[in-house]
Amino acid sequence: MATLYSTHCGSCSVGGSYSSSLSINGGQNQWLALSSSSPWRVVPSKAKVVLQSRRNSHLNAVLMQDGAVAARVTPIENETPMKKPKAASLSVPSSQECKDAVGFNINENEPTVSITVVGASGDLAKKKIFPALFALYYEDCLPKHFTIYGYARSKMTDMELRNMVSRTLTCRIDKRENCDEKMEQFLRRCLYHSGQYDSEENFAQLDKKLKEHEAGRVSNRLFYLSIPPNIFIDAVRCASSSASSAHGWTRVIVEKPFGQDSESSAALTKALKQYLEEDQIFRIDHYLGKELVENLSVLRFSNLIFEPLSSRQYIRNVQLIFSEDFGTEGRGGYFDNYGIIRDIMQNHLLQILALFAMETPVSLDAEDIRNEKVKVLRSMRPLQLEDVAIGQYKSHTKGGVTYPGYTDDKTVPKDSLTPTFAAAALFIDNARWDGVPFLMKAGKALHTNRAEIRVQFRHVPGNLYNRNFGTDLDRATNELVIRVQPDEAIYLKINNKVPGLGMRLDRSNLNLLYAARYSKEIPDAYERLLLDAIEGERRLFIRSDELGAAWSLFTPVLKELEEKKIVPEYYPYGSRGPVGAHYLAARHNVRWGDLTVDQ
Ligand SMILES: NC(=O)C1=CN([C@@H]2O[C@H](COP(=O)(O)OP(=O)(O)OC[C@H]3O[C@@H](n4cnc5c(N)ncnc54)[C@H](OP(=O)(O)O)[C@@H]3O)[C@@H](O)[C@H]2O)C=CC1
Ligand SMILES: O=C1O[C@H](COP(=O)(O)O)[C@@H](O)[C@H](O)[C@H]1O
């Protein structure tokens, strides 16, 4: 038994087709470049072998009976049972497999990925997960051998599942070639198993079916928990005991909500860890998979002009804004137990804040990035009641149409005080951000649909042109806007001379509008995240300590709001939300940047 040391990815997780390299006996000059087209490299017996795998690279290594290692880049995974041993090592495969490997005939050694969507009959599965899997298939991003299983209690045949799924599959606008054919091929790989979420027997039946499809290959298994949170643990327990992979990795994607406060979240983490190692848990926050959220680090850390300005010295405030122009229609039952602070702020907006405000990570490795996020979250002050304003939408009639109020939803108690809107001011008590208000605003049933980050810069000291701005100096400061959705864009508001003989200044935008700059359609967040989970890339998933730090910031204020039964300010459906948000901002010398139309 020889140990494979991975210098880059710990457990050597893989996917894609970039280069990797391999060194023998630590020799600097003995790195062998590996690429998907390279032949197998055979390493001498008893050599200490280091495999280095870049993100998105498939690394395949086989230990031969005489102790030598054959390696090349192609899909393979570390062998991760549900509770995986800490050291990654390879067991000696049969001599036939070794011969095949060296003789380039490695088919039976190629791993397979089985993706089980638990809760396949539900809204998220239909709306997001199956379409994302199809998009990955269409783009040839899924491994060659894969099977998708839908699992839920509803009785359905494979054909019925396919019919259900086919109704939500679409092809990208820019890629329609062979779309129908690809859809059919994809649907043929989708199967269904009906079972209870707490039945080990039902999961064992699933296991049997998965094995048939895996046909003796190294089997990697991904379970996507697309079910209500109260059944997460049952499903994980059963999947773990009866359907985890014996010879490959097993990973579980867990959907939010991850608890309701620090206590319940810690209990959920503890329960999950009874059955899974931390590195098998992929807590999804789909905002981390959004293109512009991923771009935040690129913008800051690869552009000299932004990084030096990212501090209290130059930034007056940062605003994280989420608004939806529809209410909780259809999800009122879920929403009433959570409210907007838990639904949007504690996760999506806080994650964006952490990525925006973190220090430069040591590298782009998942753990380095997550370490920095944890550091910044731990430097934050828990949110205070006086720094929060809450609201709830009420019915409103406009143009002869009556829009329902939040409590008109039959699944919501008539006397519910659950906020559907909140504004909050948060602070990071570290050297970089001391005193800079980070304002969050999130609401449902507002006048617009939008998610954006607004960075307002300080005034130019001794500005020669002050008198050209009149008294409203705030309006003359620079503002960087990162519009996450819709119409992804990054623009910088600058002051500019209006062309002509006079000296008149106006505010103009240096504008990067994605639709104009890039012809490629932007992938859905779920595509990126599913692909990462398959590849074992954890960068965009939430680690348990990160989650704990996030809950610590919001739990005290949530408790206070609920214990004191604070009544939300009512705002009409389709409005800009309660005025309380403006008072809150004003107390911190901030004016919300989304009050004027920029474009
Ligand atoms: N929908 C969305 O837009 C989003 C959802 N999420 C999260 O994703 C997960 C799935 O969401 P969504 O698809 O909307 O959920 P659903 O309410 O649609 O539930 C998914 C499936 O779970 C089963 N189920 C529902 N309620 C119960 C219950 N009480 N006991 C046992 N099984 C039940 C049903 O399948 P069957 O009866 O066939 O077993 C249902 O089809 C949730 O955790 C949700 O919070 C996160 C972000 C957005
Ligand atoms: O997680 C959630 O996100 C959606 C908004 O997601 P988006 O990608 O459409 O912006 C929100 O509607 C939902 O309430 C929340 O649970």
Cα(362)–Cα(376) distance, integer angstroms: 15
Would the ipTM clear 0.90, i.e. be above it? yes
Which is the closest atom of ligand 2 to the Cα of 285? 1
Angle of helix 179-188 versus helix 130-138 axis, rounded to 10: 120
Report the separation in Å between the CA atom of 343 and the middle of ligand 2, taken as the mean of its atom positions.
Answer: 8
The pTM assigned to this predicted structure is 0.84
Distances (CA, A) of 279 to 83, 103, 369, 413: 10, 34, 15, 40
Are 41 and 213 in contact, with CB atoms under 8 Å apart?
no
Angle of helix 179-188 versus helix 158-166 axis, rounded to 10: 150
Q: Cβ contacts of residue 584 below 8 Å, gap of 6+? A: 387, 388, 389, 423, 424, 425, 439
Give the residue, by CA position, lying nearest to ligand 1 atom 44: 228
Cα(457)–Cα(479) distance, integer angstroms: 6
Query: Taking CB atoms and a 6 Å cutoff, what residues make up the pocket around ligand 2?
Result: 286, 324, 343, 451
pLDDT by residue for the chain (599 residues), tens digit each? 333 333 233 233 333 333 344 444 444 333 344 444 444 444 444 444 444 444 444 445 544 444 444 554 443 344 344 443 332 333 323 333 322 333 333 355 688 999 999 999 999 999 999 999 999 999 999 999 999 999 999 999 999 999 999 999 988 766 677 888 999 999 999 999 999 999 999 999 999 999 999 988 899 999 999 999 999 999 999 999 999 999 899 999 999 999 999 999 999 999 999 999 999 999 999 999 999 999 999 999 999 999 999 999 999 999 999 999 999 987 888 999 999 999 999 999 999 999 999 999 999 999 999 999 999 999 999 999 999 999 999 999 999 999 999 999 999 999 999 999 999 999 999 999 999 999 999 999 999 999 999 999 999 888 888 777 665 667 789 999 999 999 999 999 999 999 999 988 888 999 999 999 998 889 999 999 999 999 999 999 999 999 999 999 999 999 999 999 999 999 999 999 999 999 999 999 999 999 876 64
Strand 396-398 to 401-403 pairing: antiparallel
Which is the closest atom of ligand 1 to the Cα of 232? 43
Name the residue of 128, 344, 527 to mutate for ligand 2: max ligand atoms within 8 A of Cβ.
344
Are 345 and 424 in contact, with CB atoms under 8 Å apart?
yes
Give the residue, by CA position, lying nearest to ligand 2 atom 12: 324
- Give DSSP secondary structure letters for 522-543: PPPHHHHHHHHHHHT--TTEE-
Distances (CA, A) of 206 to 102, 202, 246: 34, 6, 14
Which is the closest atom of ligand 2 to the Cα of 256? 1
Strand 489-497 to 505-513 pairing: antiparallel
Report the separation in Å between the CA atom of 496 and the middle of ligand 2, taken as the mean of its atom positions.
Answer: 37
Cα(313)–Cα(349) distance, integer angstroms: 23
Q: Find residue 219's DSSP bridge partners.
A: 112
Token digits for 347? 């996760």
- Give DSSP secondary structure letters for 503-528: --EEEEEEEEEHHHH--SPPPPHHHH
**HSE-CB of 122 using CA atoms within 13 angstroms:** 19
